[in-house]
Structure 1
Amino acid sequence: MDRDAVMEEFRAAGALREGHFVLSSGLHSGVFLQKNLVFMHADRAERLCRAMAEKITALVGQVDVVVSPAVGGIIPGYETARWLKVPAMYVEREAGQFKFRRGFHLEPGVRVAMVEDIVTTGLSSRECIAAIRAAGGDVVVAACVVDRSGGEAEVGAPLVSLASLKVPAYPADQLPPELAALPVEEPGSRRLTA
């Protein structure tokens, strides 16, 4: 599956949005990929994650488990694991840190594919990988559906993506005037409060 086919999945699902968005990273962007509108359709998730499983296998061979960061990575992680025929787990934030909960644990040295939805700065991926390594896992690859950094994000493991885009994102104090003039939406989940 090439970049155009991936972006067509987002367009067809109404998930490629334009406006003024605060991303989970805290950066502001004129483009937001509402991946949940894609993943709510099992057929779209299947096509994307089957292609991601094929890329993972081509790069590193067989893995033992897929681990994803909650919340956004759970669906693509599960569906990719299904195609890899391995278990899927996820880490959740506890006191601000990703941790394995709900009985999930890793055997020492297990080969892990960390699967994420969208990478912008790579922060969630780095935090997830740190939790995997702290639990004894060997992260042999990181994978995402879309890399918004255009290949510039450093996640701490070899990163493969189905689509790589260079989408401008700005700190709040460095917004271009045309972006600053638009009403702000904050569709991400990182800063949700109880």
Structure 2
Amino acid sequence: MQDEDILAEFRASQALLEGHFILSSGRHSAHYLQCARVLMEPMRASRLASALAARMPRDIRSQIELVVSPAMGGLIIGHEMGRALGVEAVFVERPEGVFELRRGFTINPGQKVLLIEDVVTTGLSSREAIAAVNAAGGNVIAAGSLVDRSAGEASLGVPFYPLLTLNFPTFAADALPAELAAIPAVKPGSRKEALAA
């Protein structure tokens, strides 16, 4: 799958949005990729996961014993990556603000793990999820995501394989360009869609 094919999947599912968005990192952007929309059609989710698995080096793929993803955004793509790689998939959650395994999920000591996200912007949540896997005894050998919004700048501490790399500019809340500041801010996926910028 080429980049244009991948973007076509996002456009076909109306997952590439334009406006004024507050990203999970707290930064603002005129573009938002709503990965939940691109993943809501099971066959599309399967195609994207298979394409992402194919982008990873064979020696990495062959070592992966478990896929772990952060809830909520990584759940579907994590599950589909488990299917594509033929391994189990679990997720970490933040009930108290720090990622942890719940629901009876366990990681065997030294188990080789692939961490999967939907979108990486700064890499913070990925690094926090990797720390949770390491604390549970796992060994994260690689990470992947549908989209790398950092344009290759995010450092996760392990080899990182995004399906698509984009460079949409992001801005701190106190450094918005006038044209963006003039549009009401929306935090997609939030219970409160419109927020004061």
TM-score by length of 2: 0.93
Residue 87 of structure 1 aligns with which residue? 88
Q: Equivalents in 2 of 1:117, 1:12: separation in Å?
A: 17
The runs of 4+ residues in structure 1 deviating greater than 6 Å are none
RMSD: 1.7
Q: Equivalents in 2 of 1:191, 1:178: separation in Å?
A: 22
Secondary structure of the structure 1 residue equivalent to 2:99? strand
Q: Equivalents in 1 of 2:2, 2:59: separation in Å?
A: 16
Q: Equivalents in 2 of 1:93, 1:53: separation in Å?
A: 27
Note if contact 1:65-1:111 (Cα within 8 Å) is conserved in structure 2. Answer: yes
1:79-103 deviation digits (Å, cap 9, x = unpaired):
0100100000000002100000000
Q: Equivalents in 1 of 2:57, 2:190: separation in Å?
A: 30
Change (3 A) 1:158 1:151: same
Structure 1: runs of 5 or more not aligned: none
After TM superposition, the structure 1 = structure 2 runs for residues 28-107 of structure 1, keeping only pairs within 5 Å, are 28-58=28-58, 60-62=60-62, 63-107=64-108
Note if contact 1:2-1:162 (Cα within 8 Å) is conserved in structure 2. Answer: no
Note if contact 1:22-1:188 (Cα within 8 Å) is conserved in structure 2. Answer: no
Identity of aligned pairs, percent? Answer: 51
Give, in angstroms, the shift of residue 2 of structure 1. Answer: 2.0
1:93-115 deviation digits (Å, cap 9, x = unpaired):
02100000000010011110001
Q: Equivalents in 2 of 1:41, 1:131: separation in Å?
A: 30
Residue 5 of structure 1 aligns with which residue? 5
Give, in angstroms, the shift of residue 56 of structure 1. Answer: 3.0
Note if contact 1:70-1:92 (Cα within 8 Å) is conserved in structure 2. Answer: yes
Change (3 A) 1:43 1:191: same
Residue 154 of structure 1 aligns with which residue? 155
Change (3 A) 1:58 1:189: farther
Opposite residue 125 of structure 2, the aligned amino acid is: S
Note if contact 2:49-2:84 (Cα within 8 Å) is conserved in structure 1. Answer: yes
Q: Equivalents in 2 of 1:3, 1:144: separation in Å?
A: 14
Note if contact 2:120-2:148 (Cα within 8 Å) is conserved in structure 1. Answer: yes
Opposite residue 98 of structure 2, the aligned amino acid is: Q
Q: Tell me if 1:111 matches 2:112.
A: yes
Q: Equivalents in 1 of 2:189, 2:162: separation in Å?
A: 20
Secondary structure of the structure 1 residue equivalent to 2:143? strand
Opposite residue 97 of structure 1, the aligned amino acid is: V
Residue 21 of structure 2 aligns with which residue? 21
Residue 180 of structure 2 aligns with which residue? 179
Opposite residue 20 of structure 2, the aligned amino acid is: H
Residue 145 of structure 1 aligns with which residue? 146
Note if contact 1:24-1:189 (Cα within 8 Å) is conserved in structure 2. Answer: no
Using the TM superposition, name which of 94-103 and 180-189 deviates more: 180-189
